[in-house]
Amino acid sequence: MTPDRVRASIVITLIVICSALAGAGIDRYLSVSMARHRLPGPGRSTPEQDAKRRAEMLDRMTKSLELSASQRAGIESVMVRTDSSLRLIRREMQPRIRMVFDSSRAEIAARLDKDQRAKFEKDTVRRRGPRP
């Protein structure tokens, strides 16, 4: 092999390694960043977060639509009922959704060797938190 080909091979190898490291770094950054912004629990928001979101939305609507006090109160009541209904639906659906994800994880784990399975389980707990 000529010195030029050796040099080209080394450069290409370094580019591939650096690209892989950069990709892994970006993936790690995005995973951590998304995990920080993920909301808690089955409804993915707390009642306090829902109330804050509703208040902000009502403030925007009041300003842009020039709502009267009675219109604002009526719209807020609709929003509260909607949030309650959605929370109930999420609570009813969450066990089914969890079953699908658990089944999927079990099928994936069955296709991994012992070391891969241990790493997969560790990564799953780190990303999702321990299961109740």
> pLDDT digit string (tens) for 77-115?
999 898 888 888 988 898 998 899 889 888 988 988 998
pLDDT value, residue 129:
58
- Domain-embedded: residue 100: no
- Domain-embedded: residue 11: yes
Band (75; pLDDT cuts 50, 70, 90): very high
Q: Give the Cβ contact number of residue 51 at 10 Å.
A: 15
Distance CA 47, CA 41 (A): 11
pLDDT value, residue 39:
47
- Domain-embedded: residue 113: no
Tell me the mean pLDDT in the region 74-78.
92
- Domain-embedded: residue 27: yes
- Domain-embedded: residue 106: no
Domain count, the chain: 1
Tell me the mean pLDDT in the region 56-73.
93
Domain that holds residue 12: 1-38
pLDDT value, residue 61:
93
- Per-residue model confidence as pLDDT tens digits over 20-63: 888 877 877 776 666 555 544 445 677 788 889 889 999 999 99
Tell me the mean pLDDT in the region 73-80.
91
* 123 or 93: which leads in pLDDT: 93
- Domain-embedded: residue 128: no
Distance CA 112, CA 110 (A): 6
- Domain-embedded: residue 124: no
- Domain-embedded: residue 79: no
